[in-house]
Each structure stands twice: as structure tokens, then as C-alpha cells.
Structure 1
Amino acid sequence: MTDHALRDGLAQPGKRDFLYIVTGVAAAGAVGGLVWPFIDQMNPASDTLALASVETDYSKVALGQQVVVKWRGKPVFIRHRTPQEIAAAVADDHADLRDPATDASRHKPGMAEWLIVIGVCTHLGCVPTFGEGEYKGWLCPCHGSVYDTSGRIRKGPAPKNLYLPDYAFLPAGKVKLG
């Protein structure tokens, strides 16, 4: 080393050190620029974000009927349960259930006549039909999973109850999903 590179016994940074630092920063920026599109493509699509919440009118659903609303690309069953369906569900609260849940935990307090579930079988994602099966709830035609009138799994290969979406009842007979 030359005398002008040493000062108090320490090496002073030179042009070469500066070039290493600039090259490292440029390389890190280039890697970030290449990786960002891959990370960004994992975000939900804009059409999915537009469906983040959906409002629908449930006041016109007759007793014993249900409507199907598409929410986040999945069917959601909004069922207006009869007193018989509610009584059957409450009577089975203490039955041997694969995924234990009471009927009261499956609906909003004071709104037992309204059951809102995501209409996708928890086995392989098929859409169950209502009014069939031993428990007169939903039956998945693909592999035979049977759900009761509270959406709880009773028979078949499905491991879980029909999932409950986030929802809130709004004034004027509307419900907001999401």
C-alpha cells in the first residue's frame, strides 16, 4: 500500500471499493425488479376483490326455501328454515358428530330460521343438494356426504361441517356476505 492509502494505520476506501458497493446495490435492485412481478401475481385478481362483500335481499325467500348467492366464486346457501328443520337440528345437538357444533353456534342469535352456509362439500368441493339424505339436509351427490338441516356432517367422507361465511343482517331485509 502507498502512503496516501494509509491513514492512522487504516486502509482508506478507494475507487475499487466504491465500484463494489455500486455494483452490489444495482444487482440487488435488479433482483428485486425481477422478483416483484412473481410476488405481485399472487395477490387476488381485481374481479375477486370486487366480490369481497355482497349484499342480497333475503326477505323474499319463502319459509322452507333457499337462495344461492355467488360470493368469492363459491355458492352460498341462504336457507329460510322451517320450525321442523330447526327442531330436528336442535334435537341432534348432542348426537355423535364428526365435527361437533350445536345448532345455535351455526346461526346468528335470535335468527334461528336463517341458516347461511358456504355451499361447497368439505370433502372434494362438490355442490350439495338440499332435501335429500337420511337427515333431510344436504347431500353431496359425488361421494355421498350427508349434512343435516344445520349443515353439520353426519355421514360420508367429508371431514367438516359446511363452512359458515362472515355475514351480517342489515336493515330492510338484506344480508351482507363478507
Structure 2
Amino acid sequence: MATQSNLSQPEAPDTGRRDFLYIAAGAVGAVGVAGAVWPLINQMNPDASVLALSSIEFDVSSIDVGQSVTIKWRGMPVFVRHRTPEEITEAEDVPMSDLKDPEPDSARVKEGHAEWLVMIANCTHLGCIPVGESGEFGGWLCPCHGSQFDTSGRIRKGPAPTNLVVPEYEFLSDTLVKIG
């Protein structure tokens, strides 16, 4: 009878050790890539000066009835107008069919504060700054291309496609407005 020799059969390799080395090397590589990429992503966050401008508080107590002021928020001019009772009535009485971008006056002011109108002071046509208390409708007139806005900042005539934009704002008290 023939005898078999153990020399012709190789031993089975230990695959568990090799798998562990592959996983460990992959984990170290992933941590290295994350460590290199994080500063690139983090540098895209806004700096402290930009975050500070994201909202402002403005005291409206010094604005007389019928007067407007222009303040700066996020690098843009913002109109704050203390409207007269006549301007409010005129804005509320405009039929929606007369408006290019129909929006009631009540949607453009805060409830209980209808005398205060806060709008971004950029014409929605090409971004010019309209002149206050001008034009046929007693609101704002864009001198560049003739867009005319009423006492609620709604487009009434001219090439501007939409009303002046009302930013997010709230009254913190009767005289303090937070924009943004």
C-alpha cells in the first residue's frame, strides 16, 4: 500500500489576520482624508462679521409720522416708513385687479403695526434704489426705468415685475424692530 505524505498539502492561510489589516488600513486612510478635507469645508462658513449682520435691531421711536429712513442690513438699504393714516387707507383701498403683483396691504405689514412699513430698498427690475414719496401713487419711484410703487411698496406702473421685497422682521416692543 502507498502511504501519503503531508509534504504535498500546503497549510491553509490565516485570512482573518489579512482582513483585519485591510480594514485597519482603510480606517486610517478615511480618517486622514477627513482630516485633510475638513479645513476646506470649514473655511466656507461665514465669519463672525457676517453673522453679526444677519439681524439688526432698530429703534423706530425717532421716526415721525410721514417720515422714512433708510438703514443698512446685510449690505442692502432698507426703507422704514412711518405711514400716515391717509397712506394706510389709500393702500388698503386699492383693488387687487389694479395691481401687477397682487398682494393686500395687510400682508406687507405686521398685525397691530400697520403704520410701519419695512422693505428692502431695491427695485425688483434691475436693483436700483427708488426715491421715496415720488411718482403718481405717492410711494416710491425708481429713477432708472420709471417703475412706480404705491404707499405699500407694491408695483403699480413700469417694468418692475414684483413688489418691493418685505424682509423677515418682528417688533420686539412698540418701538424696537428686529430685521432678519
Q: Is TM > 0.5 for Structure 1 vs Structure 2?
A: yes
Please give the alpha-carbon distance, in whole angstroms, between the structure 2 residues aligned to 1:161 and 1:2. 84
Q: Deviation at 1:66?
A: 0.9
Aligned AA (2:139): G
Please give the alpha-carbon distance, in whole angstroms, between the structure 1 residues aligned to 2:10 and 2:150. 87
Q: Following superposition, which runs of at least 4 residues in structure 1 exceed 6 angstroms of deviation?
A: none
> Which ranges in structure 2 are unaligned for 5 or more consecutive residues?
1-8
| Map of 1:166 onto structure 2 | 168
| Map of 1:42 onto structure 2 | 44
1:9-88 equivalent positions in 2, closer than 5 A: 12-15=15-18, 17-88=19-90
> Which ranges in structure 1 are unaligned for 5 or more consecutive residues?
7-11
Are 2:13 and 1:5 equivalent residues in the alignment? Answer: yes
TM-score scaled to structure 2, two decimals? 0.81
Map Cα deviations across residues 11-66 of structure 1 (whole Å, 9 max, x no partner): x2344x44543443344334333433343233223112112221111111011111
Q: Please give the secondary structure, in 1, of the residue aligned with 2:12.
A: helix
| Map of 2:96 onto structure 1 | 94
| Map of 1:105 onto structure 2 | 107
Q: Please give the secondary structure, in 2, of the residue aligned with 1:3.
A: coil
Distance 1:18 1:111, change over 3 A: same
Q: Deviation at 1:145?
A: 2.4
**What is the alpha-carbon root mean square deviation over aligned residues?**
2.4
Distance 1:146 1:41, change over 3 A: farther
Please give the alpha-carbon distance, in whole angstroms, between the structure 2 residues aligned to 1:49 and 1:151. 28
Q: How many residues matched?
A: 172
TM-score scaled to structure 1, two decimals? 0.81
Distance 1:168 1:33, change over 3 A: same
Equivalent pairs: percent with the same residue? 55
